[in-house]
Amino acid sequence: MCELALEIAGVVVDVIEQFYRRHCSKKNRVNVQKIVSRVNGFAAFAAGYAYAMGRVALLSWFGMAVANALELTGEPVQGGLLVGQLEPGQSVQYRGKALQLDQQHRFIVALDRDAEPELVLQVSSPASGEKQSMNTQIYPFAIRNREYSIQHIEGVEQKYVEPNPKQVERSRREGQWVVNARRQQRAQNDFFDGFIWPVRGPITGVFGSQRVYNGQPRRPHYGVDVARPTGTPVVAPSGGLVTLAHPDLYFSGGTLIIDHGHGLSSTFLHLSKLLVAEDQQVLQGQAVGHIGATGRVTGAHLDWRMNWTGAGGNVRLDPQLLVEPMSEWVALPNESIESTKTGD
């Protein structure tokens, strides 16, 4: 569809240009160029629209009345978080599951690291006139692909590549606690007002990157790492309920999970100190812990992850897409640059 639209537009532009070179005086040149750029712009718009709307575009293209009234805000990109707004009485389904709505009829959909290029939402609206009858409409949205950094490391001693069975057993048990802490779909909705950085500092690890040891791919890195010394305060990026506060998990050390509502949660790893307890409500900007180097790490840093369990799955999203670009921070008097090498 895109290719076709572009091709047609290209031919139209060529014809106009040839016509103008043969027949038009210099006086008319500006006008013709305007038309050409308008045609170009239109072709780009048409291609973009076709790509975004998929099959719906085909229908509306040929004059059938299909209104695409559903608008999503946020970054339509792998790892992104989208916010949708419905009309009163409407409901929305994603992958066959109804999404939670707040009192203002808003909902969220999060996109995984490797999300498909098309997101499909199904909106049901009460049919006019008839009681208990619903109209259902399908809305496809284009999702942009991202490229992640993949690092191949060869010649690593095998004992470091294969974890020992005891550790596997422990981390599996602990993993279940983490899963449980993220499972609820709470009505909390402060996060619609946005997120702030839990700590500012050098970013030493990004979402989606992956290491391959001796040809064996590791789990991708799902968080954003900010390296600051042990003891640096960490604040809640948005309000929520503390659903897990554990001082020492095998991989992640001091671990905190804040449930923001609608299945969306923040997890902080490697903390040296927890300042809040489970079942405690926290506000955006409230200090919740201290940076540390606990668990399996090479140095002190905060690993901030975000998960969404809204449609029954477990989507890992990129926290960095939800906050402003990292601004300046004030280093401690004796803070060394060495800490910027740490991560994981």
Q: Is 201 near Zn ion (CB under 5 A)?
A: no
How many whole angstroms from its chain centre is CA 155? Answer: 34
**Segment interacting with Zn ion, rule: CB under 5 A, options 72-80, 209-217, 219-227, 321-329:** 219-227
Query: Helix-strand-coil percent breakdown of the chain, rounded to 5?
Result: 25, 30, 45
Least spacing, CB of residue 280 vs Zn ion, in Å? 25
Window 25 to 64, contacts with Zn ion (CB under 5 A): none
Do the beta carbons of residue 226 and residue 244 sit within 8 Å?
no
DSSP reduced 3-state for 272 = coil
Pick the closer one to Zn ion by CB: 94 or 268: 268
Q: How many residues bind Zn ion (CB under 5 A)?
A: 4
In this chain, which of 174, 259, 303, 318 binds Zn ion, going by CB under 5 A? 303
* Of 98 and 206, CB closest to Zn ion: 206
295 lines the binding site for Zn ion (CB under 5 A): no
Binding region for Zn ion (CB under 5 A) out of 158-166, 179-187, 204-212, 275-283: 204-212
* 225 near Zn ion (CB under 5 A): yes
In this structure, the strands spanning 287-290 and 253-261 are unpaired
Rounded Cα distance, 74 and 54, in Å: 20
**Which residue, 9 or 315, is less far from Zn ion as judged by CB?**
315
223 binds Zn ion (CB under 5 A): yes
Nearer to Zn ion, 237 or 261 (CB): 237
Q: What gap in Å lies between CA 68 and CA 218, rounded to an integer?
A: 41
Q: Segment near Zn ion (CB under 5 A), from 170-178, 181-189, 284-292, 299-307? A: 299-307
Q: Which stretch binds Zn ion (CB under 5 A): 86-94, 217-225, 278-286, 330-338?
A: 217-225
Q: What type of residue is 31?
A: N
> Smallest gap, in angstroms, from Cβ of residue 253 to Zn ion?
11
Footprint (CB under 5 A) of Zn ion, residues 273-292 = none
Residue at token pair 């993949």: 150
**Rounded CA separation 130/116 (Å):** 37
Among the candidate windows 24-32, 93-101, 224-232, 277-285, which touches Zn ion by CB under 5 A?
224-232
Q: For Zn ion, which residue of 76, 126, 175, 205 counts as binding (CB under 5 A)?
A: 205
As a whole number of angstroms, the distance between CA 247 and CA 117 comes to: 39
Q: Is 319 an interacting residue with respect to Zn ion (CB under 5 A)?
A: no
Long-range contact list for 132-141, CB < 8 A, 24+ apart? 137/70, 138/56, 139/56, 139/68, 139/70, 140/53, 140/54, 140/55, 140/56, 141/52, 141/72, 141/76, 141/82
> Does 318 interact with Zn ion (rule: CB under 5 A)?
no
3-class DSSP state for residue 19?
A: helix
* Residue (259 or 303) nearer to Zn ion, CB: 303
Alpha-carbon torsion 85, 86, 92, 98, what sign? positive
What residue ranges bind Zn ion (CB under 5 A)? 205, 223, 225, 303
